């Protein structure tokens, strides 16, 4: 991990107030997410924790491990993979814009799995792994053990299964390990992307985390997740006041809670003060402004909005 921080965060200095003095008072930070860990990644030091060792479903945060196992296998990224009925979500019934018979390169499948949390893309990556999906899931669990994720277990490559579980503490380690992979950093922070299909269609996909389009945030890596059993989740490696910070927010039940909690963490680290709980309409307004700016930048190239699903993010 020390080598990673040297490579990824070279040139960063501890110039923030919380870097020079004692960490902000955790009692001032009021978060609504059930499981939280905020970590000073440069010093591997816990800044704030809330039920951080409680085992809980992690939904599509799973796809960070899916990406690492895919890249570790060193299979050709330009090899074409197909979407098969075996890749469909029969557990939650989530929607996908990748139809049966769609063919994309392994690189494109990986990009969509990480950026847009595409379940069929993640399933296809696992199915085309040597030995198939079962061997892929075994590799995911072996990788977890090798990283010291003692309370993490995977049952599928998408995160749709509530049996994919971890803790906020384990996921902080997972985020730092995933940040060693340049493609994972790039794809998780890509705001939007247009895919050219062999059918002649060119659908546009948007990042599942609106914060990557917010210029106030300097995000190195992120991944969102949602299934009913896990609540809304987000993990991020972000630079705040010139320091790398890991933020893990799990089981956020409100639609905008994970974004609002992330804003609270950022404000607390920058000022040492709590950010008042903004009304839901204010959080919606911020998200709407970000979405509007993104739509203006891509108008005429991408569809105005990506069809949402209730299960894949």
Catalytic residue ranges? 60, 63, 117
Q: What letter would DSSP give residue 299?
A: B
The token duo for 300 is 């005429």
Report how far Cα 145 is from the mean position of its chain's Cα atoms.
Answer: 20
Q: Residues for the chain: how many in total?
A: 313
Distance between first and last Cα of the chain: 28
Among residues 212, 197, 181, 208, the alpha carbon closest in space to that of 66 is found at 181
- Please identify which residue in the block is written with the tokens 């040597």: 130
Q: How many helices (H) and strands (E) does the chain have?
A: 10, 11
225 - beta bridge partners?
233
The token duo for 201 is 């269609």
3-state secondary structure of 106: helix
Report how far Cα 11 is from the mean position of its chain's Cα atoms.
Answer: 25
Sign of the four-CA dihedral 307, 33, 17, 19:
negative
């Amino acid at each position: 991990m020390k080598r990673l921080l040297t490579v990824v965060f070279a040139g960063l200095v501890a110039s923030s107030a919380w870097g020079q003095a004692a960490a902000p008072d955790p009692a001032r930070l009021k978060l609504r997410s059930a499981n939280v860990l905020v970590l000073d990644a440069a010093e591997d030091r816990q800044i704030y924790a809330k039920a951080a060792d409680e085992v809980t479903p992690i939904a599509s945060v799973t796809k960070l491990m899916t990406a690492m196992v895919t890249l570790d296998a060193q299979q050709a990224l330009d090899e074409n993979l197909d979407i098969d009925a075996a890749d469909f979500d029969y557990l939650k019934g989530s929607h996908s814009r990748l139809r049966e018979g769609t063919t994309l390169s392994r690189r494109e499948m990986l990009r969509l799995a990480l950026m847009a949390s595409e379940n069929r893309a993640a399933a296809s990556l696992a199915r085309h792994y040597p030995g198939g999906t079962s061997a892929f899931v075994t590799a995911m669990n072996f990788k977890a053990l090798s990283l010291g994720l003692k309370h993490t277990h995977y049952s599928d490559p998408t995160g749709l299964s509530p049996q994919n579980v971890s803790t906020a503490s384990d996921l902080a380690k997972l985020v730092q390990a995933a940040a060693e992979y340049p493609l994972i950093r790039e794809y998780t922070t890509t705001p939007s992307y247009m895919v050219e299909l062999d059918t002649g269609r060119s659908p546009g996909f948007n990042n599942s985390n609106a914060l990557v389009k917010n210029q106030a945030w300097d995000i190195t890596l992120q991944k969102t997740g949602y299934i009913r059993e896990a609540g809304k989740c987000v993990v991020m490696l972000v630079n705040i006041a010139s320091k790398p910070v890991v933020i893990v927010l799990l089981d956020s039940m409100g639609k905008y809670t994970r974004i609002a909690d992330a804003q609270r963490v950022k404000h607390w680290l920058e000022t040492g003060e709590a950010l008042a709980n903004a009304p839901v309409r204010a959080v919606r307004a911020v998200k709407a402004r970000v979405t509007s700016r993104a739509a203006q930048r891509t108008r005429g190239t991408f569809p105005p909005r990506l069809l949402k699903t209730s299960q894949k993010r």
